[in-house]
Amino acid sequence: AQSVTQLDSQVPVFEEAPVELRCNYSSSVSVYLFWYVQYPNQGLQLLLKYLSGSTLVKGINGFEAEFNKSQTSFHLRKPSVHISDTAEYFCAVISYGGSQGNLIFGKGTKLSVKP
């Protein structure tokens, strides 16, 4: 079975500062990893995904994430945040060949960007 831990429930940051949202997972098999973003009063949208290949994955809105197999981490980063990045961010993991019903979400990190 897999599990996902998002280490920070809330991250406040000032506009134009860099940010890192941390995600660790546990699994006995190979996994695919996803980051989703949820803006207020909306559903989740895919930000980026790691399937295979390069461990640095670029997503929408200037976000990127790095897969680290030895540390079982998939941290999300942005070098300079905007007010519009204020949202909740979810990390998710699923095993290779697993059922979509076994997609596991972390509990989310609320990013609050202040002017």
Partner 1 sequence: NAGVTQTPKFQVLKTGQSMTLQCAQDMNHEYMSWYRQDPGMGLRLIHYSVGAGITDQGEVPNGYNVSRSTTEDFPLRLLSAAPSQTSVYFCASSYRDSNQPQHFGDGTRLSIL
**Residues of this chain that bind partner 1 (CB under 8 A):** 9, 32, 34, 36, 41-46, 49, 51, 90, 94-101, 103, 105-108
Q: Over the Cα atoms of the chain, what is R_g?
A: 14
| Minimum separation from the CB atom of position 16 to partner 1 (A) | 29
Q: Which is nearer to partner 1, 41 or 54 (CB)?
A: 41
| Minimum separation from the CB atom of position 115 to partner 1 (A) | 26
Dihedral sign (CA 78, 81, 83, 88): positive
Q: Which is nearer to partner 1, 52 or 70 (CB)?
A: 52
Residues 6+ apart with CB under 8 A from 61: 37, 47, 78, 85
